Amino acid sequence: MPPEAGVAGLPAARRRMPPWVATAALLLPSYAWLTLAVLLPLAAMFAFSFLHATPLGNKPVVWTLEQYRAFYDQPYLLGVAWASLSIGLWTTGICAVVGFAAALALVRATAGRARETLLILVLLPFWTNGLVRVFSWTMVIREGGFLDTFVRWFWPSAPSLGFLYTTPAIVLGLVHGYLPYMVLTCYIALLSIDEAVIEAAQSLGARWWTVLFKILVPLAAPGLVTGAILIFVPVIGAFMEPRILGGRVGVTMGTVIEDQFTQAFNWPLGSALAFTMLAVVLAVFATFSGVLRRSAAT
């Protein structure tokens, strides 16, 4: 039988499938799960944000845009939103400074097993329950807690250093939880920098601060921006750390939205506030995406 006849006589099942079929088969499970677990709940919340009241019992369904006027009708929400943004900016800024320094130390001052061990220690917060982690800080920074006890070993008459139920306590808890994101993104960015560039700068007489601010920071900017996005986006909506570590001062957009769903049962207002925050987050993401594209192009 000629070779052509043998190829033509192959069963259809054994013929090569089009590439898009294999791609669709691989993507279908993940996109089906995303649709079920993310897109459908988001669509339901988006519909709730246009309702006059929570559709419970025999209440009539009334569509309205009044929920999106919350910041106009309830001006205190502007102060809450600003507090959330301030906490997000402080947390992101501290994580950027500390995370970049830690990543730089890992890349430039360690190698081999020591680097792997320190990197694992950086990831430890991911291995502990968030609620346990936050409550552990209350034992450290409360008045008469571990911090006060440690200081009074050396200075018995020292005033209390406890700062629980303050904004710095909230920022501390958030930095502890989200710092590994910045360390990892900066670590990856710094690893990709060619050592020859740094050696060339040093051979031309560049001081350490010149190498740091003129070479390392600009070349690691994509890692810094990526880490900032990964931290800022969830921090401005966090509610666990503000509620536990902030007490009465821990009123943020995250806690307000949570209260609308769990305490006031005002799902339309909670949904509208959540989507307003989502719009802010998308605007921030779009801005930083442009910065990333320009950094990649250069």
Per residue in 150-180, pLDDT (tens digit) is: 998 988 888 888 999 999 999 999 999 999 9
d(C-alpha 17, C-alpha 13), whole Å: 9
Which residue ranges make up each domain of the chain?
74-297
| Tokens standing for residue 120 | 């694992």
Distance CA 126, CA 102 (A): 17
User: What are the structure tokens assigned to 5, written together?
Assistant: 């006849």
Task: Express as a percent the part of the chain with pLDDT over 70.
Answer: 91
Which pLDDT score, from 0 to 100, does residue 209 have? Answer: 86
Tokens at residue 167, please? 């904004």
> pLDDT digit string (tens) for 76-117?
999 999 999 999 999 999 999 999 999 999 988 777 788 888
In the 8-state DSSP scheme, what is residue 36? I
d(CA 296, CA 220): 11
Contact indicator for 284, 232 with CB cutoff of 8 Å: yes
Percent of the chain with pLDDT over 90: 43
SS3 content of the chain, % helix, strand, coil (to 5): 75, 0, 20
DSSP symbol at 247:
G
The per-residue pLDDT for range 174-224, each reduced to its tens digit, is: 999 999 999 999 999 999 888 888 889 888 888 888 988 999 999 998 899
∠277-280-283 over CA atoms, to 5°? 150
Q: Let me know if domain 74-297 sits in CATH 3.40.630.30.
A: no
Average pLDDT of every residue of the chain = 86
